[in-house]
Amino acid sequence: MITGTALPSPKPAEVNATPESLDFLSESETPQSPALSATGKRRLKENLEILDNNLRDLRKNLAAADKNLGTIRAELKDLQTLEKEHLDLKKKYQQFQATAELQMKKNQKAGRNLAKWEESTHPQANDPQAKNKVESAKTELLEREDWQKDTEKKLAQVKSLLAGVETNLVDIRSRKKPLEQQLSAWNSRRDEYRKLISETETRKSKWQRVLER
C-alpha cells in the first residue's frame, strides 16, 4: 500500500480591505476635481496606506498560492511517475500471464497426445528402437508435468503481484484526484490575487496622481 502525508492547505493571510471598500472620496474630492481639501488629502493619504497594506497582503497571498501550487505539482508528478511504473508492471505481468496460460494449454495438449501414444504402443521384445521411443516418451511426460507444476507456481505468484499492483493503482488514483482538485482551486485563487493586485495598483496610481496635483 502506498503511504504519504496529506498535503496541508495553508490559509493565506486575509486582506484587510478591498479596493471596493475604499470609495471614500466625496463628489467634490473625486479624481476629476482640480484640487482636494486638506481633509481630503489627509484621508487620501490614509487610504493610500491601506492600499499599500492590501497590496502587501495580496502579494503574500500570491506567494503562498505559488508555493502551494509548486508543492501540489511536485506531489502529482511523483504520483504520476509511480502510476506509470505500476502500469508498466501491470502490462508486464499480464503479458506473462497470457503467455504462460497459452503455453500451459499447449503443454497439456501435447502431454495428453504423448500419453495416448505411449499407452497404445507395445513394442516387441526384440525391437530395442521402439522400446527407446517409449522410454523417451515417458521421460518427456515427466518433464512436461514438472514444467506444468513449476509454471503454475510462477503464474500464481504473478497473479498475486498483479493484484497488488491493482490495489496500489487504486490508492495512487485516489490520492491524485483531490490533489488535482486542489491544483485547480489554487490556480483560480492565484488568478484572483493577480487580478486584485493589478486593480489595486491601478487605483493606487490614480489616487497618487490626484494627491500630487
The listed CATH number (1.10.390, 1.10.760, 1.10.287, 1.20.910) that belongs to domain 36-211: 1.10.287
Q: Indicate yes or no: pTM above 0.85.
A: no
Report the distance separating Cα 212 and Cα 210, nearest Å: 5
Q: pLDDT of the chain along its 213 residues, tens only?
A: 333 333 344 343 344 434 444 444 433 444 455 566 788 888 889 989 999 999 999 999 999 999 999 999 999 999 999 999 999 999 999 999 999 999 999 999 988 888 888 777 766 656 677 778 878 888 888 899 999 999 999 999 999 999 999 999 999 999 999 999 999 999 999 999 999 999 999 999 998 888 887
Q: Residue with C-alpha cell 492600499?
A: 51
Q: Residue with C-alpha cell 476635481?
A: 33
Inter-residue contact 152 to 160 (CB < 8 Å): no
